[in-house]
Amino acid sequence: MAVIKDQKGRVIVDWPGRSVREIIESGQTDLRGADLSGMDLHGIRVTGMGLEGVDLSGSDLTGARMDGARLPGADLTGTALDGASLQCASLQCAHLDGTTARDAHMGGCDLTGASLTDADLTGSDLSGACLEDADLARADMSGADLTGARLVWSNVRDARLDGADLTGTWMDMDTAGPMGPRFIMPAQDAAGPGMGI
């Protein structure tokens, strides 16, 4: 018997004879705000499902197929997303701090306002992703595909971009200190001496 509770401990799903994986993959229930933290959900398929505000912190989602999933405000802190597919998923204001998403497929993903501090995005496909106002401090994006991505107003302080493809990527550059005027430019134009890109 599988029981899924919300983050306040209230039962939101109680389906006898079904596993948590079967309930999630069925897409037949509202899991907004569900507590799915620390679960082994590797390879799960939840394409297009609404998981707004869900707690998946510390869960294993390696190889998961979550294309088009709606996860705004979700907590994926410390989650394993290696090789997962989240293409065109909505992750606005989601928490992905310390998440490993090596070789993940996140093209077209909306990560506006998301927190990805200390995340490992090595070799991931973030082409066309919207990372506006995202916190990518100390994130490792080595070898990532960021073609056409938007990192406007994002914090990339101490982020690693070694070997990342920044073709057509839009980033902002602070030209006069933390409170001074800013300008927006394609990343390949910003990669001049002293820019650290």
Q: What is the dihedral of CA 73, 74, 79, 85, to 10 degrees?
A: -100
32-197 sits in which CATH class? mainly beta
Residues 127-158: b if buried by 16+ CB within 10 A, e if exposed: bbbbbbbbbbbbbbbbbbbbbbbbbbebbbee
Residue by residue, pLDDT tens for the chain (197 residues) are 577 888 888 887 777 778 888 888 887 777 889 999 999 999 999 877 788 999 999 999 999 999 999 999 999 999 999 999 999 999 999 999 999 999 999 999 999 999 999 999 999 999 999 999 999 999 999 999 999 999 999 999 899 999 999 999 988 754 334 444 344 445 555 444 333 34
Give the HSE-up count for residue 133: Cα atoms under 13 Å, Cβ half-sphere: 7
pLDDT at position 196: 38
Question: For the segment 125-174, what is each residue's pLDDT rounded down to a tens digit?
Answer: 999 999 999 999 999 999 999 999 999 999 998 999 999 999 999 887 54
Q: Are 172 and 155 in contact (CB under 8 A)?
A: no
**Domain residue spans in the chain?**
32-197
Q: What is the DSSP string of 137-156?
A: TT-B-TT-B-TT-EETT-B-
Strand 170-174 and strand 11-15: the pairing is: unpaired
CA 44/CA 56 separation, integer angstroms: 13
Q: Are 116 and 95 in contact (CB under 8 A)?
A: no
pLDDT at position 173: 54
Q: Are 79 and 61 in contact (CB under 8 A)?
A: yes
